């Protein structure tokens, strides 16, 4: 029989202390403002332990005394504790097909810096990441001017990601709308701020859009919902039990490559008749007789034209056909995943006034008979920033869950 290695009491104590720091910080994040006495009751920790942990978190500028609460002892008001939003922040970055975006979000979830650069990213990864790093460095300078310290970064990419590619680190397996395939990411991520602290986290842009909507947007208060984002491509992020679901291999959510027109137009993924070929922005523009690279504004302008105007009628027909394809894909998603809410993001959100009533009616007709009711369809509360904010919020959530990772040793 092999003896188990002894665990030093100091190590056990430190491990427990580290865990409890996260418990206390997470409870404050959940409740907003709470007293030490309230924390002791909520966490089951002794008052002296809570006071010690709070002292460390205040010294690390993660908590701050703020007002008074009714949770003091013997009816006396207690000193309120809240998250300190003036020091620690996360950096979110997004590589879209037609833009780069960065955002700095503080510990309270407030956006403190937001920058964007518009232009195609169907270029070499090196060129794109050079520009992203410069944009992120400017965001870091602006954050520093507000006395904020970036402790980590998150990156949203519209493609399939492999987080465990043997010998290569993290890798973009395929990002059709960027023209990227088998692109190692770690060499590029090393140039993103803050360069120290939490490692750069990378996820699909639809997943991070779902996280943004869960924490700050239309999904707040909904434990299970589906976010469908649209730009050049179409992706989906699924929240189940208030957490992201990305599938066994991390590739869940590729709604844009669900076939809705068998044998239809070729798709950038190599297939034919995918949803993106019907409801992606270039497809809508092309069907409306507009420049497929012309952006959303010409399509919105055409939709405002009166009935009988050829350009307006063509735009409305294109959107109707796109909505029909999207309804087919969403019907399958509802039957398979049963989300409680469907949130349209990106260009789909901008088309919401036209799309939402059509999708509501189609889903009611397709799934209502079986389920009684179809999940409601709404538009994003965060607009095109859902993914970049979700990337920054991922950093904030990591700090709240494990503050020791950024605290002085």
CATH assignment, 89-208+386-406: 3.30.420.40
Kindly report which listed range (61-70, 208-217, 271-280) carries the lowest average pLDDT score.
61-70
* Confidence category of residue 167, pLDDT binned at 50, 70, 90: low
Cα gap 81→312, rounded to integer Å? 56
- The stretch 38-66 carries a mean pLDDT of 93
The pLDDT, as a whole number, for residue 249 is 67
Are 194 and 150 in contact by the 8 Å Cβ rule? The answer is: yes
Write the pLDDT tens digit of every residue in 293-319.
Answer: 888 999 999 999 999 999 999 999 999
Cα gap 236→320, rounded to integer Å? 20
Cα gap 214→352, rounded to integer Å? 19
Write the pLDDT tens digit of every residue in 217-268.
Answer: 999 889 999 999 988 889 899 999 888 887 766 677 789 899 999 999 998 8
Cα gap 61→63, rounded to integer Å? 6
Asked if residue 3 has pLDDT above 80, the reply is no
The pLDDT, as a whole number, for residue 74 is 56
Average pLDDT, the chain: 89
The pLDDT, as a whole number, for residue 139 is 97
The pLDDT, as a whole number, for residue 75 is 54
Q: Whole-prediction pTM value?
A: 0.88
The pLDDT, as a whole number, for residue 162 is 85
| In the chain, domain spans | 9-83, 89-208+386-406, 218-381
Write the pLDDT tens digit of every residue in 174-226.
Answer: 898 899 999 999 999 988 998 877 889 999 999 999 999 999 999 988 999 99
Kindly report which listed range (58-67, 68-77, 367-376) carries the lowest average pLDDT score.
68-77
Instruction: Let me know if the fold of 9-83 is the same as that of 218-381.
Output: no
Q: How are beta strands 342-346 and 225-230 bridged, if at all?
A: parallel
Q: At what angle do helices 9-31 and 386-401 cross, to 10 degrees?
A: 140
Asked if residue 329 has pLDDT above 80, the reply is yes
Task: Report the topology of domain 9-83.
Answer: Arc Repressor Mutant, subunit A (1.10.10)
Write the pLDDT tens digit of every residue in 95-143.
Answer: 998 999 999 999 999 999 999 999 999 999 999 999 999 999 999 999 9
The pLDDT, as a whole number, for residue 371 is 77
Cα gap 361→341, rounded to integer Å? 15
Candidates 35, 104, 93; CA nearest to 66 is 35
The pLDDT, as a whole number, for residue 8 is 46
Write the pLDDT tens digit of every residue in 339-357.
Answer: 999 999 988 999 999 999 9
CATH assignment, 218-381: 3.30.420.40
Length of the chain: 409
The pLDDT, as a whole number, for residue 73 is 53
The pLDDT, as a whole number, for residue 99 is 93
The pLDDT, as a whole number, for residue 198 is 83
Cα gap 278→281, rounded to integer Å? 9
The pLDDT, as a whole number, for residue 4 is 42
Candidates 71, 64, 113, 103; CA nearest to 87 is 64
């Amino acid at each position: 029989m092999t003896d188990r290695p002894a665990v030093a009491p100091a190590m056990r104590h430190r491990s427990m202390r580290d865990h409890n720091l996260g418990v206390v910080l997470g409870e404050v994040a959940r409740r907003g403002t709470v007293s030490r006495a309230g924390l002791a009751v909520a966490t089951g920790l002794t008052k002296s332990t809570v006071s010690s942990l709070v002292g460390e978190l205040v010294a690390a500028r993660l908590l701050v005394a703020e007002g008074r609460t009714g949770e003091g002892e013997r009816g006396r008001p207690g000193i309120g504790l809240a998250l300190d939003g003036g020091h620690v922040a996360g950096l979110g970055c997004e590589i879209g097909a037609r833009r780069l975006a960065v955002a700095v979000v503080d510990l309270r979830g407030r956006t403190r810096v937001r920058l964007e650069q518009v232009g195609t990213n169907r270029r070499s990864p090196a060129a794109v990441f050079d520009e992203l790093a410069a944009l992120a460095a400017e965001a870091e300078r602006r954050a520093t001017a507000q006395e904020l310290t970036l402790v980590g970064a998150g990156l949203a990419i519209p493609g399939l990601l492999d987080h465990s590619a043997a010998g290569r680190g993290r890798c973009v397996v395929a990002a059709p709308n960027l023209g990227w395939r088998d692109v190692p990411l770690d060499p590029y991520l090393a140039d993103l701020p803050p360069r120290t602290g939490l490692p750069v986290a990378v996820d699909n842009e639809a997943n991070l859009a779902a996280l943004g909507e869960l924490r700050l947007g239309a999904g707040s208060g909904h434990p299970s919902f589906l976010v469908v984002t649209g730009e050049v491509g179409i992706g989906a992020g699924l929240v189940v039990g208030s957490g992201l679901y990305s599938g066994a291999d991390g590739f869940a959510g590729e709604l844009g490559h669900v076939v809705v027109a068998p044998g239809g137009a070729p798709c950038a993924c190599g297939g034919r008749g995918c949803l993106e070929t019907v409801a992606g922005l270039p497809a809508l523009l092309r069907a409306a007789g507009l420049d497929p690279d012309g952006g959303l504004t010409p399509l919105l302008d055409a939709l405002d034209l009166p009935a009988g105007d050829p350009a307006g009628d063509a735009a409305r027909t294109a959107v109707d056909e796109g909505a029909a394809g999207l309804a087919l894909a969403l019907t399958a998603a509802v039957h398979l995943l049963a989300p409680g809410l469907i949130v349209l993001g990106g260009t789909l959100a901008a088309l919401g006034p036209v799309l939402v009533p059509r999708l509501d009616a189609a889903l009611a007709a397709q799934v209502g008979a079986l389920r009684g009711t179809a999940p409601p369809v709404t538009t994003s509360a965060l607009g095109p920033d859902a993914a970049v904010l979700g990337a920054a919020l991922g950093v904030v959530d990591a700090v709240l869950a494990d503050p020791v990772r950024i605290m002085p040793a």
